[in-house]
Amino acid sequence: MNEKKSGKFNFENFLRRAFKSPLEWLASRLLKLGISPNHITLFGLFGKIGAAVLIAFGYLRLGGLVAALMAPLDAVDGALARLRGNPNRFGAFFDSVIDRYDELILLGALIIYFYNQKNLTGVLLTFLAIMGSVLVSYTRARAESLGFDAKTGILTRIERAIVLIVGLLFAKPIFSVGIIAILANITAIQRIAKVWQQSNAE
């Protein structure tokens, strides 16, 4: 649903509009170099793996910095795909799958970090954050496969990424995973409720 038609503020759409010009400029340069959207997607994945290794060994701020540097690549691959002018369904599918890996790799690294710190609360909150993150994505995908709209909720993927990176940069990941654990699961519940309302209206 279009943001203007729905009348609801969409943070991801806002960021894409705000940074549209620099993204298109960068994408055009990459296109001239023969770099494909999938190359950018994979580079971002390897960067997130590097960030996860740093986090797992306790280098939180450095890992957060690497993750922050890799984050914009998700928008760059999309801009590059649009400039190429040949939409590829596999590319869109591949990008979505790697997005899930990107997020879960970082959260998985935090489980290792908290476990090494003997912080069982951190381990539990991170597990709940992972559960919520997976369910937010799954509820939307499953709803759309059944013809429902589930684009709703207070903490979508880009907001989760920002919350996580900020917590890492301040070396306070316990707050990040706590926020994600609560709000991501609330978001999943919001999406379930929206689909329930639509099914009752049929």
The percentage of the chain sitting over the pLDDT mark of 70, rounded to a whole number, equals 89
Mean pLDDT, to the nearest integer, of 92-119? 95
Q: Integer distance in angstroms from the first to the last C-alpha of the chain?
A: 19
List CB contacts of 202: < 8 A, sequence separation 6 or more.
none
The CATH number given to whatever domain includes residue 95 is 1.20.120.1760
Mean pLDDT score of the chain: 88
What are the pLDDT digits (tens) for 30-46? 777 878 888 889 999 99
29 within some domain: yes
What are the pLDDT digits (tens) for 60-91? 999 999 999 998 888 887 778 777 776 678 88
2 within some domain: no
Check pLDDT > 70 for residue 2: no
41 within some domain: yes
Kindly report the backbone phi and psi dihedral angles of residue 147, in degrees, each rounded to the nearest multiple of 5, phi listed first: 90, 15
Check pLDDT > 90 for residue 188: yes
Q: Can you tell me the distance from the alpha carbon of 26 to that of 43, in angstroms, rounded to the nearest whole number?
A: 15
Angle formed by the axes of helices 37-56 and 60-70, nearest 10°: 170
* Domain assignment of residue 73, given as a range: 10-200
**Is 165:64 a contact under the CB 8 Å cutoff?**
yes
Picking from 112, 128, 140, 138, the residue whose alpha carbon sits closest to that of residue 179 is: 128
How many CA within 13 A on the CB side of residue 134?
A: 11
Q: What is the pTM of this model?
A: 0.86
4 within some domain: no
Both tokens assigned to 84: 């190429």
Total domains, the chain: 1
How many CA within 13 A on the CB side of residue 167?
A: 21
User: What pLDDT is recorded for position 30?
Assistant: 79
Alpha helices in 33-156 (DSSP H): 37-56, 60-70, 73-84, 89-116, 120-145
* Position 92 confidence tier, pLDDT thresholds 50, 70, 90: confident
5 within some domain: no
Return the active site residues: 99
1 within some domain: no
